[in-house]
Amino acid sequence: MDAKEIIARRVAQEIQPDTLVNLGIGLPSMVANYLPKEVHVFFQAENGVIGLGARPPEGMEDPDLTDAGGGFVTAVPGAASIDSAMSFGLIRGGHLDTTVLGGLQVDERGFLANWMIPGKMVPGMGGAMDLVAGAKNVIVAMVHTAKGKPKILHECQLPLTAQRRVSLIVTEMAVIEPTEEGLLLKEVGPGASVDDVISATEASLIIRGDVPQMKLA
């Protein structure tokens, strides 16, 4: 099980039944593959699809059915297609229960930076600013380090996506909850210890008692 699968499987456990959930591009889109069959939700994408399913098997892709990043998806029974204005109306109107977004950096305040690296070509803002500001719950799904350097920092060095504390950070090494007191370490990943997580994290972490290991289905 690689790092991205660990993250996607753990994030899937946070998805509540009968909710409207946005999955960002890249790693977050994998979450739909690991949702338990008994958990019924509607996944939404900014390009106007409500009712995203798992990624299609190779060779079964529909070129007219993609997520906001152009990745191929499937549609569940009851899915709907709406225009972008309606899609962003759902987001900005506070009707989205949860969004799962990738991250470049998160800081001790729980602020996210995920849209720009100066001097480099990246996908850009997309709907991230609206999603962080408008969704009831914001889950960041990202690998813990980039080329050996921490991504959870004292303060973000990249431009912020929004000045709002995210709800949860899930990496292959840890589950961390940003709180008013700071970043609370809730779980450690498979094969990781608390010391491993501290070593790979620039930001200070709150440790309360014995920290359990992630339970992955």
CATH number for position 157:
3.40.1080.10
- What is the reported pLDDT for 125? 63
Q: How confident is the model at residue 67 (pLDDT cuts 50, 70, 90)?
A: confident
Determine whether 177 is an active site residue: no
Task: Classify residue 105: in a domain, yes or no.
Answer: yes
Q: What is the pLDDT of residues 124-157, one digit of tens each?
A: 667 889 999 999 999 999 999 999 999 999 999 9
With tokens 């079964």, the residue in question is 60
Task: Classify residue 78: in a domain, yes or no.
Answer: yes
Task: Classify residue 143: in a domain, yes or no.
Answer: yes
Per the residue annotation, which of 46, 61, 172, 202 is the catalytic one?
46
Task: Classify residue 178: in a domain, yes or no.
Answer: yes
Helix/strand number for the chain, H first, E second: 4, 15
- What is the reported pLDDT for 117? 76
The whole domain housing 89 covers 3-206
Sheet holding 20-23, edge to edge: 75-81, 49-52, 42-45, 20-23, 98-101, 137-141, 168-170, 174-178, 183-188, 205-206
Q: How confident is the model at residue 204 (pLDDT cuts 50, 70, 90)?
A: very high
Q: What is the pLDDT of residues 152-202, one digit of tens each?
A: 999 999 999 999 999 999 999 999 999 999 999 999 999 999 999 999 999
pLDDT above 70: residue 69? yes
- What is the reported pLDDT for 149? 96
Contact (CB, 8 A) for 2 and 185: no
Strand pairing report for 137-141 and 145-146: unpaired
Task: Classify residue 98: in a domain, yes or no.
Answer: yes
CA 186 to chain centroid, in Å, comes to 17
pLDDT above 80: residue 101? yes
Task: Classify residue 215: in a domain, yes or no.
Answer: no
pLDDT above 70: residue 121? no
Task: Classify residue 144: in a domain, yes or no.
Answer: yes
Q: What is the pLDDT of residues 18-42, one digit of tens each?
A: 999 998 888 998 898 898 888 889 9
Task: Classify residue 216: in a domain, yes or no.
Answer: no
Query: How many structural domains comprise the chain?
Result: 1
- What is the reported pLDDT for 12? 95
